[in-house]
Structure 1
Amino acid sequence: MGLVNLTERQKGVYLEELKNEISSKKLFLKADFSLPDLAEVTGIQLYILSHIINSEFNLNFKDYINLMRIEYFIEKVDDPIWKDFTIEKKTRAAGFRSRATCHRAFLRHIGKTPSAFLNEKGIAWRVPRKKMYNYG
């Protein structure tokens, strides 16, 4: 089936399928999640998935997944479990491979770094270091 022949109804069905699979299974939390992985899970051909993501979201696959990770990060920052996480642990828990990748994605999509976002929200992200010695 060529993309030229893809009807709006077919496009809608594929779009729902990809959104449901990614969200319900939280596939975006896997740091190594790829377009071929999504194609395998959904049974939708790679070029169709790529076309739908590009045309519907005006994003490439990586930006689309990173945006979902950012949304998850933002949703979880108030979670008590995340309270004592370092920023590195928060970024990895949101599916990013590294703090640098998260930093770039936040700047691109939110316009500020994760640290600036957390500071703005008044959320501590620096975990105090334990004292090794008491010089008291």
Structure 2
Amino acid sequence: MNFKKLTQSQKQVYLAKAEITLVSEKLFLKCDLSLGDLAKESGIQLHTLSHLINSQANQNFRDYINVMRIGYFKEKVNDTGWKDFTVEQMVTACGFNSRATAHRAFIRHVGAAPSEYLKLHRLQYDHRTVPKKGYNFG
């Protein structure tokens, strides 16, 4: 398939197919995911896929995947199964191959480090300080 001959609608369909493949198979959680892996899994030619990500998502492949990983991190911040995870465990579980890589991606796309994001958005579960039913906050 020649990506230069694709209509805008076709480009959107192919990019959606790639995204569905990434999400449904959670490929973005693989720390060693490559563009070639995604091309193989989605059935979209490598050069076409690269062009689509660059032109339609306005990102390179690495940024495109890291944004998905950041989104997953944000979803898991208050997941009770992850409440005892350290920042390092969380970013690794999200597919980042190191804390430094996650840090750079977060600064670039969120404007804060993963640890800062966690401090701002993670709920604190301290059962000793939970108000009893009927407590008046006024």
Is the TM-score greater than 0.5?
A: yes
Aligned to 1:29: 29
Q: What CA distance in whole angstroms lies between the structure 1 residues aligned with 2:2 and 2:122? A: 50
Question: Which residue of structure 1 aligns with residue 117 of structure 2?
Answer: 117
Q: Aligned equivalents of 2:122 and 2:46: distance in 1?
A: 42
Count of aligned residue pairs for this structure pair: 124
Mapped to 1, the partners of 2:42 and 2:7 lie a distance apart of 18
What percent identity do the matched residue pairs reach?
Answer: 56
Report the Cα distance in structure 2 between the residues aligned to 1:36 and 1:112, rounded to whole angstroms.
30
Q: Partners in 2 of 1:90 and 1:25 — Cα distance?
A: 19
User: Gaps spanning 5+ residues in structure 1: where?
Assistant: 125-136
**Offset, 1:123:** 4.8
Alignment map for 1:66-85 (pairs within 5 Å): 66-85=66-85
Alignment of 1:30-45 (within 5 A): 30-45=30-45
TM-score, length-normalised on structure 1?
0.86
The CA RMSD over aligned residues, in Å, is 1.3
1:85-124 matches, cutoff 5 A: 85-123=85-123
- TM-score scaled by structure 2? 0.85
CA distance in 2, matches of 1:67, 1:118: 16
Residues 29 and 93 in structure 2, CA contact (< 8 A), matched pair in contact too: yes
CA shift digits 1:95-128 (9 cap, x unpaired): 100100000000000001011111122556xxxx
Unaligned runs of 5+ in 2: 125-138
